[in-house]
Structure 1
Amino acid sequence: MSRLDESAHTALAWRIHELTPDFTVEDVWSFRTPGAGPDDFPVMLAAMVAAGGLDNQSRPAGFLMALRWKLGALLGWDKPADGLGARVQSLRDRLPSDLRAAPRGEDDERIPLKPVYELDREVVREIANKTVHGVMHLGWVQGDEGDYELRMAVLVKPNGVFGRCYMAAIAPFRYLIVYPAMTRRWEQAWLDRELLLA
């Protein structure tokens, strides 16, 4: 895994750009998938799901996620009135007709990120609460060494000063614990794909 410059996401012709001109690119990461070809994106996604997806975290990352949801419940950050379709409009409401007809992907109640659309090389999920409206973009890109790789971009629209302070406060935890743990799981899912998908 490596953290990339914002341009590694913005310079590519992703459909998400049409929907998020009012969002900021917070993070861009690449995940190693040695030997991957242009048509292996569905295989990577299936391997990630089989390995537990976003729900399967290391103990430290799992603890942080559980702590975040407990704090959210205690402080009222995650009330439906602050979520998608209430405080903010879902990106699904911005979709042009061709993307409305595209598959959305499965909605998993264990994962707070809701599906927006799923294409042959691009998947988008979103979340909204009292802190931010956030978007996770997964894309399939040819890397510098020829193999294809998974890239994740996180786009955010903070909810005022509170949202900006929240994003600043959680940054060290994302960079030191959550993203490294996610990387280990997702890169291992690719290496174990034949076993996971047998």
Structure 2
Amino acid sequence: MKLPGTAHTSRPWRIHEVAPDFRLEDVWALRTPGGPDDLPRLVASMVGDEANSFPEGAPLVVRFLWAARWKIGAVLGLDRPDSGVGSRVRSLRDRLPRDLREAARGPDFKDVPLTSLYLLENEWATEMANRTVHTVMHIGWVPDESGGYRGQMAVLIKTNGRFGAAYMAAIKPFRHWFVYPAFLRSIQRDYAASADAV
């Protein structure tokens, strides 16, 4: 479920001090119920071997859009190594205050170019960059309405000039209507499967 921006901005996340120049693009509630200490299980379910339901398990239209994005990216050179973190942009790890640099970094994704910045007991931040954008995926662990906890995903972006801004505007309907809903369902399925495996 899409949430208002204040669901992210009103919380004292550490990412606010790390990426104040990034714009909040989206905030989504994750149906990943758990206790106060279950963020590591959510993170593991997102990056572990069992985290394989996206895009393979997504509807055909999402798999098509996902494949098309990578083919278009190859043709336009959107994802060349010289356009990523450490090349076109410096990693946000360079901005981390000492306590976050010394905190657990957290795992990286295997098949998605998101690199972990830090992992705390209630938040996890990852980053990626290409020719169009430098982005952060922030996963928070928040109290829910039933007295438990659940995940919350925020996407923060810093577009690369007019081309990046135009590209992000062009793909926004596809992200909101197709890709994000399928991605969120896959997170929720993988998280539920991780509970069943315990």
TM over 0.5: yes
Write the distance in 1 (CA, Å) between the matches of 2:62 and 2:100: 33
1:52 aligns with 2:76: no
1:14 aligns with 2:16: no
Write the distance in 2 (CA, Å) between the matches of 1:6 and 1:174: 17
Write the distance in 1 (CA, Å) between the matches of 2:190 and 2:19: 29
Q: 1:39 to 1:53 in 2, by over 3 A?
A: farther
How is 1:28-177 mapped onto 2 (pairs within 5 angstroms)?
28-34=27-33, 36-48=34-46, 49=48, 50-52=50-52, 56-58=56-58, 59-177=60-178
Write the distance in 2 (CA, Å) between the matches of 1:98 and 1:79: 32
CA drift of 1:21 comes to 0.9
Write the distance in 1 (CA, Å) between the matches of 2:137 and 2:184: 15
Given that 2:54 and 2:182 are in contact with CA atoms closer than 8 Å, whether structure 1 keeps it comes out as: no
Q: What amino acid does structure 1 have at the position aligned with 2:100?
A: L
Point out where structure 1 has 5 or more consecutive residues left out of the alignment.
none
Write the distance in 2 (CA, Å) between the matches of 1:82 and 1:152: 25
Write the distance in 1 (CA, Å) between the matches of 2:61 and 2:113: 19
Normalising by structure 2, report the TM-score.
Answer: 0.91
How many positions carry a matched residue from both structures? 195
Moved over 3 A (4+): 53-57
CA drift of 1:55 comes to 5.9
Root mean square deviation, CA, Å: 1.7
SS of corresponding position for 1:187: helix
Write the distance in 1 (CA, Å) between the matches of 2:53 and 2:23: 25
Q: What amino acid does structure 1 have at the position aligned with 2:141?
A: W
Q: 1:191 to 1:107 in 2, by over 3 A?
A: closer
Percent of aligned pairs sharing the same letter: 50
